[in-house]
Amino acid sequence: MTLRAADSVLQPALLDQARALTARARMLADGAGMGIHRSRRLGGGSEFSEHKNYSPGDDLRRMDWKVYGRTDRHVVKRFESDRQVEVLLVLDRSGSMAFGSTADATPSRPELPPPRNKWDAARTLALALAFVFLRQGDRVGLALVDGGGAALLPPRGGERQLHEMARQVLADEPTGETALHSALRDVVGRHPRALVILLSDLLCAEPDDWRVPLAVHRARGRMAWVLHVVDPAEISFPYDEPTRFVGLEGEGELGLNPRELAATYRMEFESFMKSQADACLDSSLLYCRVNTGEALDGPLLTLLRG
């Protein structure tokens, strides 16, 4: 299904939040001084195509100094191999993404408040990535996936697309079960040539199935990145007293004494994170772990400068 026009479903207060979220994503991207390496481009040939105005992140080796000498303008050469890339950002908005323990953490940068939960971190990173790609003239789309399938904002270019994406990720909170495999199969099938970027906590009933559509996509020569979003409390399990745990995807409630299972839990979760990283490596998927308790520009630098 296609996402609704956000202007018809958001109140003015939420539109203000969308503008704030967009500004936050831009700050995150600009603060890291990021641009996509041209070596990541898919395409053949090196025939000159056109000039474009220089923007931060462009390859300085492409600067046309002859044009600068005549006109005092900074422009770079574009070649056929630099043609537009289609990027599809896939955000997991299932219930488990609503978990968060970082809302009251001290921000690493005062102008960038810590994420409230995994969903908040994922959508901020997605918009920061979108900003970088859109600034380069690429087309970016958004898919929000949960147990009900995938809602898609088709890939487009331009400034307006970034604001539309921000409004969409603010329109709904994460809820429901996870169905990554079927959702990914659907959206990847619709965009077989796109660079697919998945942002998810990867907490699925079938922990290996979600990789299959991306592995097939990669085997066909396309690119796929996985941003594995985890909360620090999921890693450290900082609970001492008897606690009531509530499933965020309909699993019900469970009362436990955390001290009795803390060590086992930590080992299991560490094993889970390692298995996901290893599985991505085996499928030639670029894997990057995002700890929501740490600065978000770290994963962006890993992806865009690695």
In whole angstroms, give the CA distance from residue 250 to residue 96. 10
User: pLDDT value at position 39?
Assistant: 36
In whole angstroms, give the CA distance from residue 231 to residue 99. 8
In whole angstroms, give the CA distance from residue 3 to residue 150. 9
In whole angstroms, give the CA distance from residue 117 to residue 102. 7
User: pLDDT value at position 271?
Assistant: 95
**How far lies 271's CA from each of 125, 172, 235, 276, 278, in Å?**
25, 32, 11, 9, 10
User: pLDDT value at position 296?
Assistant: 86
CATH of domain 6-36+83-305: 3.40.50.410
Domain boundaries, the chain: 6-36+83-305, 46-81
The alpha carbon of 167 is separated from its chain's Cα centroid by a whole number of angstroms, namely: 16
Asked if residue 59 lies in contact with residue 76, where contact means CB atoms within 8 angstroms, the answer is yes
Residue closest to 84 by CA, chosen among 221, 223, 194, 225: 194
pTM: 0.76
User: pLDDT value at position 9?
Assistant: 39
User: pLDDT value at position 37?
Assistant: 43
- 120 burial type by CB count under 10 A (0-12 exposed, 13-18 middle, 19+ buried): buried
**How far lies 170's CA from each of 174, 178, 275, in Å?**
10, 19, 32
In whole angstroms, give the CA distance from residue 112 to residue 24. 7
In whole angstroms, give the CA distance from residue 39 to residue 30. 21
Q: Which two tokens stand for residue 30?
A: 């600009």
For the chain, 306 residues long, give each residue's pLDDT as a single digit of tens: 545 444 433 445 545 666 777 777 777 666 555 555 443 433 334 555 567 787 776 777 788 888 778 888 888 876 544 557 899 999 999 989 999 998 888 876 676 788 899 999 999 999 989 988 998 889 999 999 887 667 889 999 988 999 899 988 888 788 888 788 988 999 899 999 999 999 999 988 676 689 999 999 999 989 999 999 999 999 988 877 656 666 555 565 566 666 778 888 899 999 999 999 999 999 999 999 999 999 888 888 777 765
Residue 112 has phi, psi (to 5 degrees) of -120, 95
Residue closest to 293 by CA, chosen among 222, 240, 221, 236: 236
User: pLDDT value at position 42?
Assistant: 33
